Amino acid sequence: MKLEGKHVMVDLETLGNRSNSVIISLGAAEFNATGVTSTFYRRIDPQSCVDNGLEIDVSTVLWWMQQSDAARAEFKVPGSHLYETLQDFFTWFPQDACLWGNGATFDNVILGNAYGAVKLDKPWKFWNDRCYRTIKNMYPDVKADPLVGAAHNALDDALYQARHLVKIASAA
């Protein structure tokens, strides 16, 4: 497997698992075949998501209540407005990069729907959607290095996944 061109691993923390879920944080790591080159991270005000038609799932809120103190600490810090966050991400996103998410129907889809909810264009082309989970499952013998930071922190998870994908690409 070759990692040519520009790539971005995205991770979202959400208040649901449907395609129109409220996003509470967006973490992203730009990477290439040699490693991570830059990062993006924003906490998002959940109310701004609801105001734009995104939805909260009670079972996910209950799940969050059972997570670590470090993971739940994200809720204590005010977030940016969804529209502003997505504009900033658009500006940061490298032109013509592939967007990787953990699951064919999760991060990329939710993020794309959030762009639609605020009536902004997505920064990636549909043909550049990629699924980290699929590749990870194709190479089960290539183990990821330990997570640095907190599980369920969007940036820490995006960095973990990007580094693992680079490791898979160099081993394949």
The residue ranges of DSSP E strands in the chain, in sequence order, are 7-14, 23-32, 35-43, 98-101, 129-131
* Identity at 25, one-letter amino acid code: S
**How many residues belong to the chain?**
172
What pLDDT sits at residue 33? 95
pTM of the entire predicted model: 0.96
Residue ranges covered by each domain of the chain = 7-171
Centroid of chain to Cα 60: 17
Confidence label for 172 from pLDDT (cuts 50, 70 and 90):
confident
Between these two residues, 13 and 172, which has the higher pLDDT value? 13
**Cβ contact 162:14 at 8 Å:** no
Confidence label for 74 from pLDDT (cuts 50, 70 and 90):
confident
**Cβ contact 96:64 at 8 Å:** no
Confidence label for 160 from pLDDT (cuts 50, 70 and 90):
very high
CATH code at 7-171: 3.30.420.10
13 phi and psi angles, rounded to 5 deg: -105, 130
Confidence label for 1 from pLDDT (cuts 50, 70 and 90):
confident
- 89-145 per-position pLDDT tens digit: 999 999 999 999 999 999 999 999 999 999 999 999 999 999 999 999 999 999 999
Position 22 pLDDT exceeds 90: yes
